[in-house]
Amino acid sequence: MSDHLIKVHPCKEPLSFVLPRSKSYATRLLILAARSAEPVTIKNLPDSSDVRFLLNAFPALGIKVQENSQEVVIEGPFPYCEKVSDETIELETGDGGTTNRFLAVLLSLGKNRYRLNCSVGFRKRPSIELQNVLNELQVDFDNWVVQGPCRFPVQLEVDCSESTQFFSALKLSLSGYQCSLRAKNIQGSHRYLELTDYLVEEFSHKKVWDVPLDFSSLGPLVSMAIYERRACCIVDLLAPDPLQADYIFLEFLEKLGIELAWRPEGLCIHAKMQKLKAFEFNGEESPDLVPSLVFLACGIAGQSRLWGLQRLKLKESNRLDWILRLLTLFQIDHEYDADQDLLCINGQLQIKKSAHVIHCPEDHRVIMLAWNFCRAAGEGRLINIDNIKKSFPNFFEAYK
| CATH, residue 181 | 3.65.10.10
H or E segment to which residue 199 belongs: helix 190-203
Q: Is the dihedral of CA 291, 295, 298, 299 positive or negative?
A: negative
Indicate the Cα dihedral angle 222, 21, 375, 329, nearest 10°. 100
Residues 168 and 261 in one domain: no
Residues 113 and 33 in one domain: yes
Residues 42 and 128 in one domain: yes
59-100 pLDDT, tens digit each: 999 999 999 988 999 998 999 999 989 999 999 999 888 899
- Residue 231, Cα to own-chain centre: how many angstroms? 26
The per-residue pLDDT for 221 is 94
333-353 pLDDT, tens digit each: 999 999 999 999 999 877 888
218-258 pLDDT, tens digit each: 999 999 999 988 889 999 999 989 899 889 999 999 998 88
Count structural domains, the chain. 2
- Nearest-CA neighbor of 104 among 69, 150, 157? 150
Residues 91 and 114 in one domain: yes
Extract the residue ranges of the chain whose pLDDT is less than 70. Answer: 1, 10-11, 154, 188, 272-274
Q: Is the dihedral of CA 102, 104, 109, 111 positive or negative?
A: positive
DSSP secondary structure string for all residues of 258-318: -EEEEETTEEEEE--GGG----EEETTS-GGGHHHHHHHHHTSSEEEEEE--GGGGGSSS-
* Domain C-terminal end among 161, 194, 210: 210
- Distant-in-sequence, close-in-space partners of 83: CB < 8 Å, separation ≥ 6: 62
This model's pTM is above 0.85: yes
* Spatial distance between the Cα atoms of 110 and 61, rounded to a whole number of angstroms: 9
Residues 70 and 47 in one domain: yes
Containing structural domain, residue 241:
3-20+213-398
Cβ atoms < 10 Å from Cβ of 178: 7
Residues 154 and 65 in one domain: yes
Residues 390 and 249 in one domain: yes
